[in-house]
């Protein structure tokens, strides 16, 4: 089942790193490819305001993932590269589950 975009007020409090981790977790749960292109697409579908071009909000901006992906690898939350694919490390999966729980609680508060 494809996920729809979250409402912006629900994800505004999360960092870009958190949104990327959640998107990667979502790709794994849906058993989709976890290559760079699919990750850009998933980030944009779930969180369009965070991952779009400033002047063209209907288009994903892949550059917004470049530095955060390097940072996440350095923190050992993800493994992989844009040339291959990405995966969550055990600590990254734990973080993704915490973020997912926060999203569920945010939806319940509405």
Q: Per-domain residue ranges for the chain?
A: 8-109
Q: Return the CATH fold of 8-109.
A: Arc Repressor Mutant, subunit A (1.10.10)
Q: Quote the pLDDT of residue 109.
A: 44
> Taking the model in full, what pTM does it have?
0.88
How confident is the model at residue 63, as a pLDDT?
A: 93
Helix ranges, the chain (H):
8-11, 16-29, 36-46, 63-74, 90-109
Q: Would you say 39 and 65 are in contact if contact means Cβ atoms under 8 Å apart?
A: yes
What is the pLDDT, as a whole number, of residue 91?
97
pLDDT, residue 9, reads: 85
The tens-digit pLDDT sequence of the chain (110 residues) is 456 788 888 898 899 999 999 999 999 877 777 899 999 999 999 999 999 998 898 999 999 999 999 999 999 999 999 899 999 999 999 999 999 998 887 654 43
**DSSP 8-state symbol, 59:** S
Distance, CA of 28 to chain centre: 11
Rounded to whole angstroms, how far apart are CA atoms 76 and 11?
A: 23
What tokens appear for 53 in the block?
């071009």
Q: Which residue has the tokens 């390097």?
A: 70
């Amino acid at each position: 089942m494809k996920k729809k975009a979250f409402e912006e007020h629900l994800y505004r409090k999360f960092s870009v790193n958190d949104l990327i981790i959640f998107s990667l977790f979502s790709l794994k749960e849906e058993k989709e490819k976890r290559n760079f292109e699919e990750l850009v697409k998933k980030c944009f579908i779930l969180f369009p305001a965070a991952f779009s071009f400033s002047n063209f909000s209907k288009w994903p901006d892949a550059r917004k993932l470049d530095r955060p992906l390097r940072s996440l690898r350095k923190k050992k939350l993800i493994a992989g590269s844009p040339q291959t694919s990405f995966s969550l490390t055990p600590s990254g999966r734990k973080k993704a589950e915490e973020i997912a729980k926060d999203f569920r609680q945010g939806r319940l508060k509405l």
